[in-house]
Amino acid sequence: MFNGKLKAITFSYDDGVTQDAHLIHLMNKYGIKSTFNLNSGLMGDLRKLELGPSMRTVSHIKFRPDEIKDIYAGHEVAAHTLRHPPLINKPQDYIIDQVENDRLALSEIVGYEVKGFAYPCARTDFDTRVANIIKENTGIKYARTTIENFSFDLQDNLYEFSPTMHQPTSLNDKGFELVEKFLDMKPDKPQILYIWGHSYSLDFSPEGWEAIEKLFQMISGKDDIFYGTNSEVLLADK
């Protein structure tokens, strides 16, 4: 259970980009908690990204190390590798270096032990070998994939953890139907709504920020729901 409740909602956002500041403002407004997965070796990066079939350009500027502690206060910082490379088929020492040294650098920056991790790159850029290397050779306690399972059930393998769904980016996103299903549930066992995304992609969609605030409005203030970071939810009984 989660602080005596059978339902929990948690969020996970990747890359440590400056759009996180507005996202956190909205989360704090509605009492939402999230985990933010950062690349310590890319902090201060000023690049932009081209997304979608129209190749629209959006900002992908990352916060500097000295900004991190204040920006993410009240939420959780987790690892995302030093420089965001794919990990599959890489040597064990390379994987450990990218993950553990990112974890240690972030722990130094935020002033607490970083325990979480999100795999970088596409959904196919990790496998069970990579997950086992991380489990056996780093201080990581859970690792999130990008493979949505559209389920609320707890998972035994926290090193290949699948999120429920990706964040909605339009007002008619089908994900809202799944959220409504979760809100209406009266479960007899613990259930988790786990939503992941990138805050910069909310700039790409014309309705992105409106959609995410609609989501926060929908889920906030429920007496039967625990709102926590990934560690608070996934490691509740660990």
Does 214 fall in a domain? yes
For residues 65 and 88, what is the distance between their CA atoms, to the nearest angstrom? 28
When computed from its CA atoms, the radius of gyration of the chain, rounded to whole angstroms, is 17
User: What tokens does 71 get?
Assistant: 């920006």
Over range 90-109, report the average pLDDT.
98
Does 83 fall in a domain? yes
Residues in the chain: 238
User: What tokens does 174 get?
Assistant: 């089908």
Domains contained in the chain, number: 1
Amino acid identity at 91: P
pTM, two decimals, is 0.96
Does 188 fall in a domain? yes
For residues 213 and 27, what is the distance between their CA atoms, to the nearest angstrom? 9
Does 1 fall in a domain? no
Mention every residue, 6+ apart, whose C-beta is less than 8 A from residue 13: 20, 23, 34, 35, 36, 37, 196, 197, 198, 199
Does 106 fall in a domain? yes
Q: Over the stretch 171-188, which tens digit does the pLDDT of each residue have?
A: 999 999 999 999 999 999
For residues 188 and 44, what is the distance between their CA atoms, to the nearest angstrom? 46
Grade residue 53 by pLDDT with cuts at 50, 70 and 90.
low
Q: Is the pLDDT of residue 225 over 70?
A: yes
Over range 95-107, report the average pLDDT.
98
Does 14 fall in a domain? yes
Q: Do 65 and 109 meet the contact criterion of CB atoms below 8 Å apart? A: yes
Q: Is the pLDDT of residue 35 over 90?
A: yes
Does 205 fall in a domain? yes
Q: For position 73, what pLDDT does the model report?
A: 98
3-state helix, strand, coil in the chain (%, to 5): 35, 20, 45
For residues 136 and 175, what is the distance between their CA atoms, to the nearest angstrom? 35
Q: For position 122, what pLDDT does the model report?
A: 73
Q: Over the stretch 118-159, which tens digit does the pLDDT of each residue have?
A: 999 877 778 999 999 999 999 999 999 999 999 999 999 999
Boundaries of domain holding 94: 7-234
Distances (CA, A) of 100 to 159, 189, 196: 14, 34, 22
On average, the pLDDT of the chain sits at: 95
Backbone angles phi, psi at 113, to 5 degrees: -75, 120
CATH number of the domain where residue 95 is located: 3.20.20.370
Q: For position 57, what pLDDT does the model report?
A: 83
User: What tokens does 151 get?
Assistant: 């389920």
